[in-house]
Amino acid sequence: MFTDQEAYSKLKKFVGNFPDTLVVLGSGWNKVLDDIKIIERISYENIFGVKSSVPGHNGELVIGQIGEKRIAFMSGRFHTYEGYGAEEATTPVRVFAKSGIKNLIMTSAVGALNEKYKVGDFVILNDVITILQVLDNPLKGPKFIDMSQVFDGKLRQKAIDVSRKLNIRYREGIYIYYHGPNFESPADKRALRILGADVTGMSMIPEVIVARSLNLRILGLAFVTNLAFVKHDHKEVLREAEKAGKKMKNLILGLIKKING
Ligand code: HPA
């Protein structure tokens, strides 16, 4: 993978004036791009020197136009379970922040740990558990950053307002990172629940830590593709997300309009 500086220079050649909002599309969230006017698509290989290798992730930066605004979308992300260190996996966050983004909307597919949650629920994240990131923190050195309010209060409220208006069933809950690539065992899931998490997924946290260190405004959105204590696989994750594609699209488009309105 290229260094931050190399990636930044490559990106500059493709996109001069970078948008102020970046949406990271996680597993299954790609439908969001279906009806957006696309201005540019750049493969990650051309910016970061590596492809994304996960089914359901395209591995490209997409610059789209929504109303008057240009918005950047990461169609796919780098995960630690692909073999990247947390610092490498968060290269895009640092590079795009240096390029000018201020708002970071992160999406993810998750398994529910909270027994009240249902497949198909959206979760507006209100906190994160970072302790499983302890062996590979993306920050190095004495960066004692504040994590008392990871997700931006105003962005969360906007996500709530848009979900209500669109009649989208949502929860507010806590995300815990699980390294993967194996899914959790039932005992793992019970343990994660005891730690206090509502949902679990294999991304989000390295990016959140870096984005906080760069003072970005962060919104975390998750989509429940499976219940924790039921057998499931990646195809099911994608299938469930596919069914909700239209809602995901409406939620993100509504949110972007609200942020800029
Ligand atoms: N665990 C971890 N990551 C996930 C899950 C899960 O159950 N579902 C979707 N992503």
| Position 191 pLDDT exceeds 90 | yes
User: Which pTM does this prediction carry?
Assistant: 0.96
Of 87-96, 200-209, 236-245, the least confident: 236-245
Rounded to whole angstroms, what are the CA distances from 151 to 82, 98, 118, 121, 148? 26, 20, 23, 19, 9
Domain interval for residue 44: 4-259
CB 79 within 8 A of CB 1: no
Q: How many domains does the chain have?
A: 1
- 4-19 tens-digit pLDDT: 999 999 999 999 899 9
Is the omega angle on the peptide bond into residue 181 within 30 degrees of 0, that is, cis?
A: yes
Q: What is the CATH number of the domain that holds 59?
A: 3.40.50.1580
Closest CA to 72 of 26, 30, 40, 108: 40
pLDDT at 258 over 90: yes
Ligand 1 close to Cβ of residue 128 (< 6 A): no
Q: What is the mean pLDDT of the chain?
A: 94
Establish whether 27 is a catalytic residue. Answer: yes
The preferred substitution site among 184, 185, 236, 239 for testing ligand 1, maximizing ligand atoms within 8 Å of CB, is: 184
Note the pLDDT of residue 28. Answer: 86
pLDDT at 56 (0 to 100): 64
- Binned at pLDDT 50, 70 and 90, residue 243 comes out as confident
Residue from 57, 75, 97, 213 carrying the catalytic annotation: 57
What is the pLDDT at residue 110? 96
Q: What is the percent of the chain with per-residue pLDDT over 70, rounded to a whole number?
A: 98
Pairing of strands 103-112, 122-129: unpaired
86-132 per-position pLDDT tens digit: 999 999 999 999 999 999 999 999 999 999 999 999 999 999 999 99
Residue 233 reports pLDDT greater than 90: no
